[in-house]
Amino acid sequence: MSKTNYLMTSLLLLLFYYIITEESEIDISNDTRYLKSQKVTQTYQGKNIQAYMYDLTVSERGQEFRTCQDLKKNKIYISTSKIDGNGRTYSIIYFVDLHNHSFHIIHSFINGTHTMLRNIYCSSGILIITLTDNKSVYVINHKNNDTFNVEVGKVVDVLFSENYYKDVAILAAGNRINQSTYILYVLDMSKHRWLMISEDVIMAHW
């Protein structure tokens, strides 16, 4: 009898803090105090269905909810953000490992202003995070287990190569107003930097 795996999540409330620095090692937690799971098996039309249910006790009532699926590494990233009554932003990032159906907290950002996660991009174990009202780009690499952020300007697009996982580029708006061209950067993960390739790019692809 074949088995189909479904992942179901529900979000509950609890604030969990982790301050991200410019360069730091990834802090990954699957502490059951924050991530409670339950496996349920049911039969439907002659098939066994295994449902993995997770109560994420850190992200209920988030104002932003985004997902990104890394098809090459069989992972799903989830980000949530909310602003409290004092104007502080709490943004949580998780990843789901579909190999073993585990849920993990990666990072929590604490910002003094109304800066929230703008978008997340992922491929081949690399996660890129952009923020609203912030020119910094955060990069997390699972292979090297590290992270860094660099200010490049508002990100317009992120480009992952289909042929080589280390080939990552971004198009950024920079500081110019009413521009029709963008700045092209290529990721140098080994030195924690984005290399500027051109300041006059209309579009780009690998």
Location of structure tokens 């209920």:
60
What order of strands is seen across the sheet that includes strand 117-123?
Answer: 23-25, 146-151, 136-141, 126-131, 117-123
Say how far apart CA 71 and CA 123 lie, in whole Å.
7
pLDDT in single tens digits along all 206 residues of the chain: 333 333 322 222 222 222 233 344 445 655 555 566 677 888 888 888 877 777 666 666 666 788 999 988 888 998 888 777 777 777 778 888 888 877 787 766 555 555 678 889 999 889 998 887 667 788 888 776 677 888 888 888 999 988 887 789 999 886 665 567 889 999 998 888 899 998 888 777 76
- What's the maximum distance between 2 C-alpha atoms anywhere in the chain? 61
What order of strands is seen across the sheet that includes strand 64-70?
Answer: 64-70, 75-83, 89-97, 102-111
Say how far apart CA 99 and CA 75 lie, in whole Å.
8
Q: Residues 169-182: pLDDT tens digits?
A: 999 886 665 567 88
151 burial type by CB count under 10 A (0-12 exposed, 13-18 middle, 19+ buried)? exposed
Runs of H (alpha helix) within 54-151: none
Runs of H (alpha helix) within 45-140: none
CA torsion angle 56 36 97 61 (round to 10): -10
pLDDT, position 118? 85
